[in-house]
Structure 1
Amino acid sequence: MSTDLPDVASNEASQISVPLEWVGMSQIDLPINLPEPGCPGPVHMVVDAQVNLPSVRVKGIHMSRLYRMLNEMSQQDAMAPEHLRTLLERMVESHHDCYTNGARVMLTFSLLARRPALRSPELSGWKAYPVQLEAKLYQGTFSLNASVEVEYSSTCPCSAALSRQLVANGFREQFAESTELAKEDVVAWLEKNATLATPHSQRSIACVSVDVPGTARDFGLMTIVNLIEEVLATPVQTAVKRADEQAFARLNGQNLMYVEDAARRIQNALSTGYENLSTHVRHQESLHPHDAVASASEGFMGLSDGR
């Protein structure tokens, strides 16, 4: 009995003459060691890996070859941008018989980082930051893009102003007949009535995408996360005591922001250090059943006279 196994993909030709942009696999689970400060590894990544199939006669690609390469990458001590380029080059080379000249991988995962409480030195907790890395190689040109998501709290400036007006009106009504007020009377009234009205706040999400140089030593993902949290100033918290919750309330009160404000803060803060910067923010409104969104990208040009 023959030990040769049939290879339909190699020995048969396609009967339909249509080139394919991408062919491969998706949703591959892999443990990858990713050197990011404060983030333990390995990281559970879900990977898509594909090559192009420009030949209209080739019936199918060699998917098992792609999987074996990914499996080898999972055994590395630390993944860097150069490793993704090498992987893509190997993917293309392994499909020379398919006339392949392009490859791409998409890696989706979450970075877990321990974050300290705002006021309690003994408290900290884990936060997850969703990340997506997309690397492409086409006709020898390599590109790498990183997208990260950061959750934060946003308090509406308009709602805050309306709330302050109601509190001020309540104060005037309460002391309309008073000609002299002691400081203790004002403090007592504020402690009881300062929440006569409160502005609406909501959990919000910033998604930021940048290009990563192929020559970079690492992906710099936590650096991007830290910059976003710093410029927005109100990142969501993990473990808290009352002192930490009060500090969080103060941060929100000192950083009122519309969705437009958040997008502009991020775009302005990161525009000088990153290429192909794109920002999308979403405020999951507590006032409305719909969200407020704003986007900005490096390629968009507004009115040149500042209007």
Structure 2
Amino acid sequence: MNQQLPDVARYQVSNIHTPLEWVGMSGIDILLNLSEPVPLAPIHASVDAQVNLPDVTVKGIHMSRIYRMLDTLSQRHSVTPEDLGVLLGQMVDSHHDCGTDSARMVLEFKILARRPALSSPRLAGWKAYPVKVEALLQQGNLRLNTSVQVEYSSTCPCSAALARQLIARNFREHFTEVNPTVDGVSDWLEQHATYATPHSQRSIASVQVALDHAASDFGLMPLIDCVEQALTTPVQTAVKRADEQAFALLNGQNLMYVEDAARRVQKALADGYRGFDVKIRHLESLHSHDAVASVSVA
């Protein structure tokens, strides 16, 4: 039946003889079972898939071929990094008549993880982590990267020091006697220890690491856990007062500038990853602008 239908892309020649770097589709919806150390639920991903078009006479690529190849991933029991490389190779091979020698794919999705409360037993909630997986096959060379975003709380060390100074000054003004009683000091602290409070804010760590294309899994949750453990104050899900108090204690014991956060994550990644890129953003509550820091290791 297809022989009776016009095929403009195949039989017409482009009037403008210019090669194109990338041609394809973006925002393709697909359901995937990604290979992970601990199995995940099926993931709804949005995928960009493209090939290059170096033949200046070719009017259009074969987009339906790319879509059908991509759809085969949703039928796999477990998709590995190697599967992405194989698919990119198939995309290139299917476009030999276009002179294609490169292909790329970007998958964007969120991982849902069950996270327990800090103190309350049997209390937990779901937390979403944005993820991006990028695969590039360029003239036979395959490169794979994965990126995750982790939200956490950051309390400013300078603001904390300024707040402590004000509290100490207020304390001295209140207690004029030489040796105040323990009970008196304790009562005063319960009422006035928040005479001044440091500013803290929700913050975001964006981490990209290089993947081994022969790896058996993507290692997404281990990467997320590594970043959260380095920062120590990940945002919470379900909380009661005891959990909120525990979170306040974590923040108070882990004061950090944006520079501190970047260095913590860099140190945590240094031993386990051969290449990474770290971008830290503190969504300032003091300023209308953000504080940022970044570091890359090839």
TM class by shorter chain equals over 0.9
Q: Secondary structure at the match of 2:107?
A: strand
Q: Secondary structure at the match of 1:204?
A: strand
The alpha-carbon deviation at position 141 of structure 1 amounts to 1.0
Any conservation in 2 of the 1:38–1:114 contact (CA below 8 Å)? no
Q: In 2, Cα distance between the equivalents of 1:39 and 1:199?
A: 41
Q: How does 1:1-307 map to 2 (within 5 A)?
A: 4-36=4-36, 40-176=40-176, 178-299=177-298
Q: In 1, Cα distance between the equivalents of 2:243 and 2:208?
A: 31
Q: Secondary structure at the match of 2:204?
A: strand
Q: In 2, Cα distance between the equivalents of 1:284 and 1:94?
A: 46
Q: In 1, Cα distance between the equivalents of 2:36 and 2:272?
A: 19
Any conservation in 2 of the 1:38–1:113 contact (CA below 8 Å)? no
Q: Which letter does structure 2 place at the counterpart of 1:286?
A: S
The alpha-carbon deviation at position 40 of structure 1 amounts to 3.8
Task: Describe the superposition over 1:119-140 as per-residue Cα deviations: whole angstroms up to 9, x where unpaired.
Answer: 1121010000000000011111
Q: In 1, Cα distance between the equivalents of 2:38 and 2:118?
A: 18
Task: Describe the superposition over 1:181-207 as per-residue Cα deviations: whole angstroms up to 9, x where unpaired.
Answer: 111111111111000011001000000
The alpha-carbon deviation at position 117 of structure 1 amounts to 0.4
Task: Describe the superposition over 1:86-129 as per-residue Cα deviations: whole angstroms up to 9, x where unpaired.
Answer: 10011011101111000000000000000000011210100000
Any conservation in 2 of the 1:132–1:147 contact (CA below 8 Å)? yes
Change (3 A) 1:37 1:238: farther
Q: Secondary structure at the match of 2:66?
A: helix
Any conservation in 1 of the 2:262–2:278 contact (CA below 8 Å)? yes
Any conservation in 2 of the 1:233–1:251 contact (CA below 8 Å)? yes
Using the size of structure 1 for normalisation, the TM-score is: 0.95
Q: Secondary structure at the match of 1:218?
A: coil
Any conservation in 2 of the 1:39–1:112 contact (CA below 8 Å)? no
Q: Which letter does structure 1 place at the counterpart of 2:206?
A: C
Q: In 1, Cα distance between the equivalents of 2:28 and 2:15?
A: 30
> Could you say what the CA RMSD is over the residues aligned between the two structures, in angstroms?
1.4
Change (3 A) 1:37 1:111: farther
The alpha-carbon deviation at position 179 of structure 1 amounts to 2.3
Q: Secondary structure at the match of 2:268?
A: helix
Change (3 A) 1:39 1:186: farther
Change (3 A) 1:17 1:182: same
Q: In 1, Cα distance between the equivalents of 2:20 and 2:121?
A: 56
Q: Secondary structure at the match of 1:186?
A: helix
Any conservation in 2 of the 1:39–1:111 contact (CA below 8 Å)? no
Q: In 1, Cα distance between the equivalents of 2:40 and 2:226?
A: 20
Q: In 2, Cα distance between the equivalents of 1:161 and 1:37?
A: 43
Task: Describe the superposition over 1:5-48 as per-residue Cα deviations: whole angstroms up to 9, x where unpaired.
Answer: 11111111111111111000000011111233566421010000
Unaligned residue ranges in structure 1 (runs of 5+)? 300-307
Change (3 A) 1:39 1:289: farther
Runs of 4 or more, structure 1, over 2 Å off, are 35-40
Using the size of structure 2 for normalisation, the TM-score is: 0.97
Q: Which letter does structure 2 place at the counterpart of 1:208?
A: V
Q: Percent of pairs identical after alignment?
A: 62
Q: Which letter does structure 1 place at the counterpart of 2:90?
A: R
Unaligned residue ranges in structure 2 (runs of 5+)? none
